[in-house]
Amino acid sequence: MKKYASDWKVVENIRLHSNYCLLKLSMDAVIPEMLPGQFVQVRVDGSQTTFLRRPISVNYIDRNKNELWLLIQLVGDGTRNLAKLQIGETVNLLYPLGNSFSIPKTINDDNVLLIGGGVGVAPLLYLGSQLTSQGYNPTFLLGARSRKDLLLLEEFQKYGEVFVTTEDGKSGEKGYVTNHSILKKKHYDFIYTCGPSPMMHAVAAYAKQSGIPCEVSLENLMACGIGACLCCVENTTEGHICVCTEGPVINIEKLKWQI
Amino acid sequence: MANLKVSIGNLSLKNPVMTASGTFGYGTEFLDFMDLSCIGGVFMKGTTATHREGNFYPRMAETPSGMLNAVGLQNKGVDYFISHIYPEVRKYDTNMIVNVSGSTIEEYINCSEKINELEDIPAIELNISCPNVKQGGMAFGTNCQSASQVVKAVRNVYRKTLIVKLSPNVTDITEIARTVEAEGADAVSLINTLVGMAIDAEKRRPVLSTVTGGLSGPCVKPIALRMVYQTHKSVRIPVIGMGGISNVTDAIEFILAGSTAIQIGTYNFIDPAISVKVVDGINEYLDRHGFNSVEEIIGGLEK
């Protein structure tokens, strides 16, 4: 896929709560094709302590409004600067980067499960919307530390049934996603997951034990985002591969995780 | 429109702007963002005699105005380069230069001999300054005796333009520069990365799997500039300057300090088309100051 570098205009920058913002961007040209699971490299200007672009997953593309959504967790100075962007300001992106989630051809409509944790739910919204538009009826299982960390629930509900876990039990079932009762009640044929590393390991272990194909979206530290620097590598059955070009989506069969 | 052409040994560059090894892949990765024919050359990813997996993740740490890397020369080896990469990159309308790395003198010789046979590779950059491999690499470039041995050995088998990439992790870089000049290097390029370290205070652990790594980016520029200045005054062969170049002003500063050509490295990650912008900017600078050619300002600091 052809990659681009261009300036985008901030249409909206919504602070979801103290730690997250939803940045909606647009541009004059029609947004080119972007696949679920792909990401963009966001340039951050004027940040004292950061230097590199920030890799952020495509959260959603609103084709009617020609908008790209980025769901951003405020972690350091780079992302905090992005949260301060005002409507009308511009931000430079490299896009679309990375591979994508694979959409299986031979399963029942209802048997795809998308498991997200924290800000890792971001790429699953766009994946869910794409699955729905292709006739699937995806199920979402979203985990968070507390109720306030559950992000964009009403958006997910547009594309499928949503189950929730929180660590304090104040929303949905108490505990982790891998303990949710839905996993015992129903068999799934394909699992996609993105979230904190311990969560993805637990989901991958569950999928492997249950014999369910599973794709994870990794968030390795990255510099260039286009396969030039070889910094973001993951050790796989094929050796060190760049998460930015051969990922971020990787089938668990290929990973060398101890699961 | 000033004349931007410069020469390095037998190598003719349409302009003095090139991209640094390890920051530009094989050039292919950047084709969507820029036209390679607009720049003087591309120094491709470090190539070794045999396949290397590189170091374990994490290999990168961001630092103020820069980054540390500890990639460790991950590449598929020279034979793979010749069979799979060379057929593609030889078509590019610019100087495609192989950065040759190794752990032993035999490895450097083996790799250089094979590259010598490739018609469309006009030069090599001998990397005696990689800080991220356990054996060899920087060890060759940090004392005169081993630098002399490896350059002499490669000079024996490599007939085209030989550029030697120097390490800044030395007491006196000019001493190494003079040594490699005496062994027949056609040019020196500097600086490679500076050895540094990052610590995660919360985890009380080093960030990099290798503990230390190579620092690059705008934060190293003043050191690089000083070393280029000193080296230019101390050798007769051309100096290719690099270290934190992020815009045209930085590039001009390196040329004024004595660089015949420059390489842009880490900043390619921030702006993949930066090298073309720097070419345009050099042209504009020369016109604005009434120079007819870039050669007029090489080492051209006012007294």
Counting one residue from chain A and one from chain B, the pairs whose CB atoms sit within 8 A come to 94
DSSP of A59-86: -EEETTTTEEEEEEE--SHHHHHHHTPP
What tokens does A105 get?
């051809």
Q: Across the interface, which of A5, A48, A51 has its CB nearest the CB of B33?
A: A5
pLDDT for B212 equals 96
* Contacts A235 to B, Cβ<8 Å: 56-57
CB B67 within 8 A of CB B60: yes
What tokens does B257 get?
């300090």
pLDDT for B136 equals 65
CA–CA distance, A233 with A66 (Å, rounded to integer):
33
Query: Exposed e or buried b for every residue in A194-226, given b needs 16+ CB within 10 A?
Result: bbeeebbbbbbbbbbeeebbbbbbbbbbbbbbb
CB A191 within 8 A of CB A225: no
Per-residue pLDDT reduced to its tens digit, A162-204: 999 999 999 999 999 999 999 999 989 999 999 999 999 999 9
pLDDT for A135 equals 87
Compute the average pLDDT of residues B170-177.
97
Tell me if residue B231 falls in helix, strand or coil: helix
Element (H, E) at B43: strand B41-43
Q: Across the interface, which of B59, B218, B268 has its CB nearest the CB of A228?
A: B268
CA A50 to chain centre: 22
Shortest distance between the Cα of B60 and any Cα of chain A, in A, equals: 6
Q: Scanning every residue of chain B, which has its alpha carbon at the shortest distance from the alpha carbon of A96? A: B32
pLDDT for B244 equals 98
CA–CA distance, A163 with A3 (Å, rounded to integer):
36
Give me Rg for the CA atoms of chain A.
18
Tell me which of 3.40.50.150, 3.40.50.80, 3.30.70.580, 2.40.40.20 is the CATH number of domain A101-216.
3.40.50.80
Find where tokens 């272990």 sit: A205
Query: In this model, does residue B30 exceed pLDDT 80?
Result: yes
Element (H, E) at A215: strand A214-217
pLDDT for B86 equals 98
Number of residues that make up chain A: 259
| Beta carbons of B62 and A50 less than 8 Å apart | yes
pLDDT for A107 equals 58
Compute the average pLDDT of residues B173-177.
98
Per-residue pLDDT reduced to its tens digit, B49-100: 999 999 999 999 999 999 999 999 999 999 999 999 999 999 999 999 999 9
B214–A contact, CB cutoff 8 A: no
* Contacts B270 to A, Cβ<8 Å: 43, 51-53
Q: The pTM is what?
A: 0.96
Question: A4-97 has which CATH code?
Answer: 2.40.30.10
Q: Which residues of chain A have pLDDT under 70?
A: 106-110
What residues does CATH 3.40.50.80 cover in chain A?
Answer: 101-216
| Beta carbons of A3 and B32 less than 8 Å apart | yes
DSSP β-ladder status, A161-166 and A173-174: parallel
* Contacts B269 to A, Cβ<8 Å: 52-53, 223-225, 228-229
What tokens does A155 get?
């958006």
pLDDT for A106 equals 66
pLDDT for A120 equals 96
What residues does CATH 2.10.240.10 cover in chain A?
Answer: 218-259
| Beta carbons of A5 and B273 less than 8 Å apart | yes
Residue of B238, B243, B104, B236 whose CA lies nearest to B162:
B238
B22–A contact, CB cutoff 8 A: yes
CATH topology of domain A218-259: Dihydroorotate dehydrogenase B (pyrk subunit); domain 3 (2.10.240)
pLDDT for B134 equals 66
> What architecture (CATH level 2) is domain B6-53+72-193+217-297?
Alpha-Beta Barrel (3.20)
3-state helix, strand and coil shares in percent for chain A, rounded to the nearest 5: 20, 35, 45
DSSP of A16-44: EETTEEEEEEE-SSPPPP--TT-EEEE--
CB A170 within 8 A of CB A150: no
Residue of A110, A178, A119, A124 whose CA lies nearest to A144:
A119
What residues does CATH 2.40.30.10 cover in chain A?
Answer: 4-97
Mean pLDDT (chain B) is 96
DSSP of A80-140: HHHHTPPTT-EEEEEEEES------SSS-TT-EEEEEEGGGGHHHHHHHHHHHHTT---EE
Sheet hosting strand A161-166, strand order edge to edge: A173-174, A161-166, A139-144, A112-117, A190-194, A214-217, A249-251
Per-residue pLDDT reduced to its tens digit, B244-258: 999 999 999 999 999
What tokens does B83 get?
């069979």
| CA distances, B193 to each of A12, B264, B290 (Å) | 41, 13, 35
pLDDT for B139 equals 82
